Structure 1
Amino acid sequence: MKFSVKSRYILLIFFLLICTGVRSQVITILDVDSREPVMNVAVFNDDQSKTAISDIDGRVNLRIFSGQERITFRHISYQTKKSLKSVILRQGNRVYLTMNAEQLDEVVMSVSKWEQQKRDVPQRIASVDARAIAFSAPQTSADLLQQSGQVFVQKSQLGGGSPMIRGFATNRLLLSVDGVRMNNAIFRGGNIQNVISLDPFTISNTEVIFGPGSVIYGSDAIGGVMNFFTKKPLFAVADSLQLHGAAQYRFSSANNEQTGHLELNFG
């Protein structure tokens, strides 16, 4: 009787050791940023003779792999990672994957007045986004166009600027701000400085169409179109109010010019 009880205890301990050993080889694959489990991760060795896949909880059992075997973790949305089984087990049975950074195609609106992929537009278009504007810190909107490297700007003085496209200027180029035409009352063909009336730090994106845009914009767009899109207000997504702000300052020693910009968003 005593022998039978001891045998049962020995078998129970042996069974627990086996379960612990199997469980200790189960690892969890997580997203490095969100710490959420990643399912359907392919796990295999160098010659792909041993394979496994993570479940809905990001778990996978590595018992088929040897201790010093190099294991590859691959997922279509994440960067491929390789590590030794022994290293993974020493690091708490967790593997963190980094998501692939996708490069999205640039979207433009100026050609057809609705969003299109830039690669699908036959016309030549130059665009400058808010990040490029903040980096270059232009004095005026004319400098913003000139610093794009694709628009010639005629300057009569340091603070001025009249853009020219394909030899056309003023009443042959359309200036538009958020879809509103800004130079309807200009009839002369010489260079004028109307573009400098726009604050470049309020612009979120600028699109310049090189070539005729008369079909969409009218006869005064024969040389090209300059579209300026201003920044949109940010609204709170929760019940509480949110306050956002930004400030920029620029100094130029060439003409002792000082430019400041302050914006607040409350909502």
Structure 2
Amino acid sequence: MSQTDPVRHPTLETTRHRVLLAGGPALLVVVGLAVWLIVGVLLSGHRTFLFDATVTPHGDVLRLRGVGDATFVSSDDGRIHVHAGGRYRGSPPRVDLADGNSLITSSCPESALSRCRVRLEIAVPPDLALRVQLVTGSVLVEGLRSNVAVATDDGEVTVIDPTGPVVAETGNGNITVSGARSAQVRARSASGEVDMNFDAPPDLVDAHSGGGDVIVRIHDPLPSAVRTDAEGGVATVTVPVDPAAPRSIDAATADGDIIVSVR
């Protein structure tokens, strides 16, 4: 009596194996493409970003918000000239003008696949007030006659030849004010040196540092009420001191020396 072979039915494991084999090439293509895209972005060279605009100001204040190093100088034609440049990988930076050309914003996308740096050079009418607020970036302001207010969480602040009131703040970096003819200058650095140099005697100086020296030098100073607080350091004052004077100099540091002297 002959024996017949039993009929073999495909098992679930065999079926799954066949499906995987059938879909293998397509799956490999998809995975390979994804890997290629990721590696391509990571290994691709940085690209250049450029932005240029010339606009007429509306209002008496120009504001800058965002990220990036920024330089402000005086324009001689009454207009605002914005030039931005940088390098990026992945998503490019953005620079926009809004609120009737009174607001400039700059952004720099950051992710696992994106990196960028941006620098702005802005020429403004010298009598236009300036308000700068950056998350990160250093700021240089030169030759403006109106109010200047600069704040950055991480970066240096330099103001050259101001004649209007100045307010400068940084969370991490030095503050330098030179050639000042401003009646009022306030500067605060959470971690850095504060250095002020006056070409004319000011009415009010407020200089504070959380971790650095504070230096105030004044050409031909008038008698002033001087207050110093140098924790962990030495305060040296050589300007004329009069506690009843209408002019005041307030200098303090949590860790450093203080110098208030004749230039």
Give the TM interval when normalised to the shorter protein. under 0.3
Structure 1 or 2: more helix by fraction: 1
Structure 1 or 2: more strand by fraction: 2
